[in-house]
């Protein structure tokens, strides 16, 4: 859960829409959805295993990976690290790859699990699941809140992703929901989001994505001089009268 004062992020806010607080029960939203062109990438068969073999693979500029699914026997491969990283930066974690393993036919695959070194920010290992054209898959798509909520509010992000089921080559890159001008009490759920054509919600519609609440204000503390004066007055009132 993340908190931010009356704003979703630092992206450019959409045009302001004149509306009453009641209009925000169903927030406006949009999505980035266009056919995903698979990225062609060459892979090498991997014969060395264990930590030592993995280190040597990475030193050679490759990433250890395993390709499996659809009843196929797992295939251990090594992918070019730079090409894989560039594809993920451009298409996101749901980028589909057309993997050409030496001596074999091209295989469509989707990243299922990615391990990264948090310090070096390099890929350590990748699990790839085989997909077929026209096949529907379930993935987590990033949810991006855009715009600024009303003044004196706090935006509470409950979920940064939304689980969707869609065709492997028609996965939306992200889903955007506008909270522009949203008043305190606004609640955005998964069911409020307009999905891209061909996509289905794969999570409970009541799942909360974000809440807009009133920001708590801190009571002003008296100035140092005022505090001292107040203390002296109180002491004078409590002091016993002289006999």
The string of pLDDT tens digits covering residues 11-25 is 333 333 333 333 334
Alpha-carbon distance 4 to 167, whole Å?
A: 34
pLDDT at 83: 96
pLDDT > 70? residue 162: yes
Residue % of the chain over a pLDDT of 90: 56
The fold for domain 2-34+137-214 equals: RNA Polymerase Alpha Subunit; Chain A, domain 2 (2.170.120)
Cβ-based neighbours of 44, under 8 Å, separated by 6 or more: 62, 77, 78, 101, 102
Distance CA 23, CA 200 (A): 25
The answer to whether domain 2-34+137-214 and domain 39-132 are alike in fold is: no
> Average pLDDT, stretch 91-116?
90
User: Does 151 score more than 80 pLDDT?
Assistant: yes
The reported pLDDT for the residue numbered 241 is 55
The H-or-E segment that residue 29 falls in is: strand 29-32
Is the pLDDT reported for residue 119 higher than 60?
yes
Distance CA 1, CA 239 (A): 53
Residue 57 has pLDDT above 50, yes or no: yes
76, pLDDT greater than 80: yes
pLDDT value at 125 more than 50: yes
- In what order do the strands lie in the sheet containing 161-167? 29-32, 174-178, 136-146, 161-167, 200-201
- Tell if the pTM clears 0.85, that is, is over it: no
pLDDT of 231 strictly over 70? no
Classify residue 191 as left (phi > 0), alpha (psi -120 to 50) or beta: alpha
Domain ranges of the chain: 2-34+137-214, 39-132
Helices and strands (DSSP H and E) totals, the chain: 3, 15
Residue 78 pLDDT exceeds 90: yes
Has residue 44 got a pLDDT over 70?
A: yes
The CB density around residue 202, as the number of other CB atoms within 10 Å, is 17
Residue positions counted in the chain: 243
d(CA 87, CA 199): 23
Assigned fold of 39-132: Ribosomal Protein L25; Chain P (2.40.240)
Structure tokens at 6: 């009356």
Is the per-residue pLDDT at 107 higher than 90? yes
- State residue 124's pLDDT score: 95
SS3 content of the chain, % helix, strand, coil (to 5): 20, 40, 40
| Other residues' Cβ atoms within 10 Å of the Cβ of residue 48 | 13
């Amino acid at each position: 859960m993340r908190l931010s004062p009356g704003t979703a992020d630092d992206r450019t806010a959409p045009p302001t829409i004149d509306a009453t607080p009641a209009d925000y029960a169903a927030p406006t939203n949009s999505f980035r959805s266009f056919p995903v062109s698979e990225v062609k990438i060459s892979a090498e068969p991997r014969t060395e295993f264990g930590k030592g073999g993995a280190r040597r693979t990475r030193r050679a500029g490759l990433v250890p990976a395993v390709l499996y699914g659809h009843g196929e026997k797992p295939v251990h491969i090594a992918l070019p690290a730079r090409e894989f990283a560039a594809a993920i930066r451009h298409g996101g974690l749901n980028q589909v790859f057309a993997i050409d393993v030496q001596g074999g036919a091209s295989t469509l695959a989707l990243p299922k699990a990615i391990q990264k070194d948090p310090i070096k920010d390099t890929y350590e290992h990748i699990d790839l699941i085989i997909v077929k054209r026209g096949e529907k898959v379930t993935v987590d798509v990033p949810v991006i809140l855009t715009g600024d909520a009303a003044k004196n509010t706090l935006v509470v992000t409950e979920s940064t992703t939304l689980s969707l089921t869609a065709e492997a080559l028609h996965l939306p890159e992200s889903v955007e929901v506008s909270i522009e001008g949203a008043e305190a009490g606004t609640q955005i759920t998964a069911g409020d989001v307009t999905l891209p054509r061909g996509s289905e919600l794969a999570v409970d519609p009541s799942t909360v994505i974000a809440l807009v609440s009133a920001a708590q204000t801190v009571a002003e503390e008296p100035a140092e001089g005022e505090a001292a004066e107040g203390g002296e007055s109180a002491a004078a009132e409590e002091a016993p009268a002289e006999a």
